Amino acid sequence: MMEKQYKNILVNSLVNLGDVVLTTSAIALLKQAYPQARITMLVRPVVREAVENNPVIDEVMIFDYKPKENSLGKMWAMAKEIKARHFDLSISFDRKSRPAILCWLAGVPIRVGADRIFDDKPSKITWLYTHTVHIKHDLVNTLQAETYQEIVRQFTGIEGHEVPVMARIPSSSKEKADKLLSQLPTDKMKIGLCVKGTFALKTWPKEYFADVVRELKRKYNAAFFVVGAPNDKEYADEVISICEEELRKSGLSEKKEIINFCGSTNLLDLAALFYQTDLFVTVDTGATHIAATTGVKMVTMYGCTSPKRWHPYNENARVLSYDPECCPCSYGENDCPHNPKPICLWEITPEMVLKKCYELIN
């Protein structure tokens, strides 16, 4: 369909941070297909830092809404704003109702979306598209970024594969990373940890993190920091307390060995931190995909999700998954039949994680 050269394109991605980072790989392909086009991205406020000042995105529009609130006024205002910008093409990377309705109301002439993105359930949302792309591959066993890119490949006819692209790191974020890391001893290997996922069945056991910290400290001249959102800070303190107790019992403890950075960084500060990190040990979360864009050496433990779909785009990434028959699962946080020790998490042992860490470090 590349006979027509679109000039003013809106892409929609009203999803969580990790997915938004992954969609930038598809936008990079779109930029190749229409190099003269201006590309605007519609996102939620929480992810704006990942896409503002991004090499493949010219402008960002923020849609601030809460699903359970009456947002008809916000919808109408946003539809008018989209209409005023005279987009000639919109592409949806989320198959959500709001952006599809907005672009239909705004009269964007070509509206592209996929019949499947996150699951196989049919959706009437596709009725609002002028062009519906059929995703043929198995969603569960295909990298999610490839699903996003396949939408662009099928609509434009372009070939190839791209990697996710993070926003440019400003000097202020580099300075912030320097200031945070100055709390750690300067002569030590810097090891980052992300200990809490957005979902309980993504969160690796606290005791396991303590074992990994103890053995990395025993083997290397290392200091540690924990990253996460502000509401992760209390949980991270609990993990740090268990880790420090293990270090004391093993005679390995020194002051300021593990610092809690949860809530101290924005997304760009976080990326700047990873550029100065020697090793990152993490659960599957948005920070995983930000880290991947920096090339940092990293080990990711997967619980209810699968690396077949969510593997980081990073040659220095190593992943671990027990991959039971019930994974990927659809259980609620407290509904897992293996509670209180879900096998998808507890069967990934500290020894398995340490082996990957040693391979990367050495």
Residue 22 near residue 290 (C-beta atoms within 8 A) = no
Q: Decide whether 8-156 matches 172-361 in CATH topology.
A: yes
**Triad 181, 182, 183: Cα angle to 5°:** 85
The torsion angles phi and psi of 224, rounded to 5 degrees, stand at -130, 150
Please tell me whether residue 44 adopts helix, strand or coil conformation: coil
Task: Write down the pLDDT at residue 273.
Answer: 98
Q: Dihedral of CA 19/236/300/323: which sign?
A: negative
Cα end-to-end span (Å), the chain? 48
Superfamily name with CATH number, domain 8-156:
Glycogen Phosphorylase B; (3.40.50.2000)
CB atoms within 10 A of CB 111: 23
One-letter amino acid at 49 equals E
CA–CA dist 197, 231 (Å, integer): 11
CA–CA dist 279, 348 (Å, integer): 19
User: Residue 52: enclosing H or E segment and its boundaries?
Assistant: none
Domain ranges for the chain, please list them: 8-156, 172-361
Task: Write down the pLDDT at residue 254.
Answer: 67
Assigned token pair, 208: 């396991």
Residue 362 makes CB contacts below 8 A (sequence gap 6+) with none
Task: Write down the pLDDT at residue 68.
Answer: 63
pTM over 0.85: yes
Q: Nearest-CA neighbor of 213 among 181, 185, 189, 183?
A: 189
Per-residue pLDDT of the chain (362 residues; tens, 9 = 90+): 456 789 999 999 999 999 999 999 999 999 999 999 999 999 999 999 999 999 999 999 999 877 666 578 888 999 999 999 999 999 999 989 999 999 999 999 999 999 999 998 888 999 999 999 999 999 999 999 999 999 999 999 999 999 999 999 999 999 999 999 999 988 899 999 999 998 889 999 999 999 999 999 999 999 999 999 999 999 999 999 999 999 999 988 767 789 999 999 999 999 999 999 999 999 999 999 999 999 999 999 999 999 999 999 999 999 999 988 888 888 888 888 888 899 999 999 999 999 999 999 98
Name the fold adopted by 172-361.
Answer: Rossmann fold (3.40.50)
Assigned token pair, 100: 């599809």
Task: Write down the pLDDT at residue 23.
Answer: 98
**DSSP string for residues in 189-248:** EEEEEE---SSGGG---HHHHHHHHHHHHHHS-EEEEE---GGGHHHHHHHHHHHHHHHH
Q: Which residues of 267-291 are buried (b: 16+ CB within 10 A; e: fewer)?
A: bbbbbbbbeebbbbbbbbbbbbbbb
Task: Write down the pLDDT at residue 231.
Answer: 95
Residue 89 near residue 110 (C-beta atoms within 8 A) = yes
CA–CA dist 292, 310 (Å, integer): 11
